[in-house]
A = this chain, B = another copy of it.
């Protein structure tokens, strides 16, 4: 049995563990909290991601270590990589952790991205506003997720307030992208260099948090282009494992927003909606097994449950619905679970998707 260590014991680590067992793999997770949801389904070590004692313990318990969380200190990941194979390599984490490094990488491989400028004080903000124009978005360069650490800027006054609110330095100003919709591509690269892509996914966010995904995205005019960008990215990084690329779809082109060097919420639909789930393919990649098919099986829609879980019976009464309860305590804004519906056609998703959204909204706090 190959032993996989996972840094982070959230719902992603939990779903990795559940996908690991049928493959004859075992998972041990490391998390800062003893209540981390992976701990309900696999062994869990408790410790800080920068604590070398905890990391060494995970290395002892694993033949290969991977991540359910990209904000692991890259130094810690590199320290760990000197003791046990770490997949994907810490290099990808380091780039994904810095929005400016990420944009430089996109530019270097010809993937369109937003106009941007680094902001570290009032002067650089003023210069950035000239370069980027308005409206724009001021973001922390590091540690942002689920819409946290960003402010939309319409006026120079907004800019000054946002600068103060976000800490005054280590920021990036990006042009505001007027998008038609948000889309993502989950791609996987095996240890042998083989690459595969899941179909383009259409995502809806609210308050910076993903609410629904639909795949394959209808009107896939840019689907092939998005997949090509994702493949270019994982090849450039010589990445091994699953990676998600988030893009804005504009009238005439795609604009890359960011990538996540891990399994991704916008790929949860693959559990029921694709031949091989993103979790299984990530595990296949990091343990050097052949990749599974990434084709869709019909059409799928996923709805996140945020803050509170809807009634379990009500969710399962929705035709074709599958529930994924992460076993987490309710808290406003917290992702507690999701449901996926599958159907033979895109239009047949509409009714069950609407039912699930209504249940999610009624429960959501």
Which residues of A does B touch, CB under 8 Å? 1, 14, 18, 21-24, 26, 40-41, 275-276, 284, 289-290, 292-293, 297-298, 309, 312-313, 316-317, 319-325, 327, 337, 342
| A–B complex contacts, Cβ < 8 Å, 20 sampled | A14-B21, A18-B21, A18-B22, A21-B40, A21-B41, A22-B323, A22-B325, A23-B312, A23-B316, A23-B323, A24-B325, A24-B337, A275-B342, A276-B322, A292-B316, A292-B321, A293-B320, A297-B297, A297-B298, A297-B342
Q: How far is the CA of A18 from the CA of B25 in the complex (A)?
A: 14
* Contacting pair A312 B325 (CB below 8 A): no
Give the chain B neighbours of A316 by CB distance below 8 A: 23, 284, 289-290, 292
Residues of B within 8 A of A317 (CB): 290
A17 to chain B, nearest CB (A): 9
Minimum CB–CB distance from A12 to chain B (whole Å) comes to 14
- Name A15's closest neighbour in chain B (CB-CB): B22
In the complex, what distance in Å separates the CA atom of A293 from the CA atom of B337?
21
Q: How far is the CA of A323 from the CA of B21 in the complex (A)?
A: 10
A123, B275: Cα distance in complex, Å: 58
Q: How far in angstroms is the closest Cβ of chain B from A181?
A: 28
Q: How far is the CB of A324 from chain B (nearest CB, A)?
A: 5
For the A-B complex with A21-B41, A24-B323 known, give 18 more contacts whose Cβ atoms are closer than 8 Å: A1-B327, A14-B21, A18-B18, A21-B40, A22-B325, A23-B316, A23-B325, A24-B309, A24-B312, A24-B325, A24-B327, A41-B41, A275-B342, A289-B312, A290-B317, A292-B316, A292-B322, A297-B298
CB pair A313 B290 closer than 8 Å: yes
Residues on B with C-beta less than 8 A from A322 are 22, 276, 292
How far is the CB of A310 from the nearest CB of chain B, in Å?
11
> Cα distance A213–B321 when bound, in Å?
26
Q: Which residues of B contact A323 (CB under 8 A)?
A: 22-24
Question: Across the two chains, which residue of chain B brings its CB closest to A337?
Answer: B24
CB distance from A269 to the nearest CB of B (A): 14
Q: Residue on B with the closest CB to A292? A: B316
Known contacts A18-B21, A21-B18, A26 near B1 by CB under 8 Å: no
A337→B23 CA distance, assembly (Å): 10
Question: From A21, which residue of chain B is reached at the shortest CB distance?
Answer: B41
When distances are taken between beta carbons in the complex, the residues of chain B under 8 Å from A297 are 297-298, 342
Which 10 pairs across A and B sit closest by C-beta, in order of nearness?
A: A24-B325, A290-B317, A22-B324, A290-B316, A289-B316, A21-B41, A289-B313, A23-B323, A293-B320, A18-B21
Query: Closest Cβ of chain B: how far from A349's Cβ, in Å?
Result: 14
Residues of B within 8 A of A312 (CB): 23-24, 289
Query: Closest Cβ of chain B: how far from A303's Cβ, in Å?
Result: 14
A248 to B321, CA, bound (A): 34
Most chain B beta-carbon contacts within 10 A, residue among A26, A322, A342: A322
